Amino acid sequence: MQFSYEQHRIIGGIGADDEYWRALEQGEFKLPRCSGCGQWTWPAHYRCGVCGSWEFVWTPLEPVGTVYAWTRTCYAFERVKERAADVPYVTVLAEIPAAGNARVMGILQGSEENLRIGAAVRGLILPPSEKSKHYPSIQWTLEAHR
């Protein structure tokens, strides 16, 4: 099944983050930065909350950050039944210092050793799959001690 960005909009998104998904599909990690004042705006919006500009530059970033928060899922919830076989799994909210500390969510892949708030993580971009409901996704892996 091919993911449709129009479908995403119908499901509940407002479309301001379409470029995030398009970039991920192409293996790039991009977040929006206001053309007017430089403010990073994530989650994406059509208008800058600081200066009112409607223009954003989708800026390529290296997918590196630190763990802002994490949670372990120990139950196969119906809404994410595609991940039932992975239970228990950890979801990380990673803070991206190069993007004004924007926070980007993803599943933790690999070892949980050293999982703690502030731990360094690196993102791995994955193509759309059944598990990610046909969206491209970013998975975080813990970097060696830093």
Judged by the rule CB under 5 A, the positions of this chain that interact with Zn ion are 34, 36-37, 39, 48, 50-51, 53
CA distance 52 to 67: 30
CB of 41 to Zn ion, least distance (A): 8
Tell me whether residue 55 or residue 62 sits nearer to Zn ion (CB atom). 55
CB of 45 to Zn ion, least distance (A): 10
CB of 68 to Zn ion, least distance (A): 23
Grouping H, G, I as helix, E, B as strand and the rest as coil, residue 26 is coil
CB of 51 to Zn ion, least distance (A): 3
Q: What are the φ and ψ backbone dihedral angles of 98, each rounded to 5 degrees?
A: -70, -10
Nearest Cα to Cα of residue 3 among 30, 22, 29: 22
* Residue 90 near residue 112 (C-beta atoms within 8 A): yes
Tell me whether residue 56 or residue 70 sits nearer to Zn ion (CB atom). 56
Tell me whether residue 57 or residue 117 sits nearer to Zn ion (CB atom). 57
CA distance 13 to 19: 12
* Residue 66 near residue 102 (C-beta atoms within 8 A): no
Tell me whether residue 48 or residue 119 sits nearer to Zn ion (CB atom). 48
